[in-house]
A and B are shown apart, each in its own frame.
Chain A
Amino acid sequence: MRIRAHALIPCLAFLLVGLSAPAAPADQEAPVPAAGAVTPGMKIVLLRPSTRFEDVKTGAPLPRIDASVYERVLLAAAERGVGPDVPAIGVSKLEPAGAEACGRLDPLASKLARGDVNDDARAALGGVAALDSGYAVLVQFFRIRTGPGSSWNMYTGGITSSTDSTLIQAALVSASTGHVIWKGERLIRNKALKATDPALTKELALLYRNLDVK
Chain B
Amino acid sequence: MKSLSRGFVFALLLAITAAAGAAKDPPPDPRFMNIESVSVLPIVDARAGKKAGVNLQNLQNSVVNILRKKRYLVNSSPNDGDAGQIAEEDLQAGEPQFIRKLGPADSRWVLVVCLEDVISKVTFGSTGNAEMSGYLFDKESGKVIWQSKGVGQAGQGGLLGMTMKGMMSGEAIGSALSNLFAGLPAKPKPGK
For A, the interface residue count at a CB cutoff of 8 angstroms equals 36
Contacts of B50 in A (CB 8 A): 29-30, 187
How many B residues are at the interface, by size bracket?
Answer: 20 to 34
Interchain CA distance A95-B156 in the complex, whole Å:
58
Contacts of B124 in A (CB 8 A): 14-15, 18-19, 159
A187 with B48: in contact, given A15-B157, A111-B87, A160-B154 (CB under 8 Å)? yes
A161 with B153: in contact, given A27-B121, A111-B89 (CB under 8 Å)? yes
Interface hit among B16-24, B31-39, B100-108, B127-135 = B127-135
Interchain CA distance A161-B124 in the complex, whole Å:
11
CB < 8 Å: which of B89, B131, B133 contacts A110? B89
Are the C-beta atoms of B157 and A158 separated by less than 8 Å? yes
Interface hit among A39-47, A54-62, A73-81, A126-134 = A54-62
The prevalent SS among residues of B at the interface is strand
Interchain CA distance A15-B161 in the complex, whole Å:
12
Are the C-beta atoms of A159 and B127 separated by less than 8 Å? yes
Contacts of B131 in A (CB 8 A): 56, 145, 163
Contacts of B99 in A (CB 8 A): none
Contacts of B158 in A (CB 8 A): 157
CB within 8 Å of A: which B70-120 residues: 87, 89, 117, 119
CB < 8 Å: which of B89, B119, B123, B154 contacts A21? B123
B43 at the interface (CB under 8 A from A): no
A interface residue numbers (CB < 8 A to B): 14-15, 18-19, 21, 24, 26-27, 29-30, 56-59, 110-111, 114, 116, 145, 147-148, 151-152, 157-161, 163, 165, 167, 169, 185-187, 189
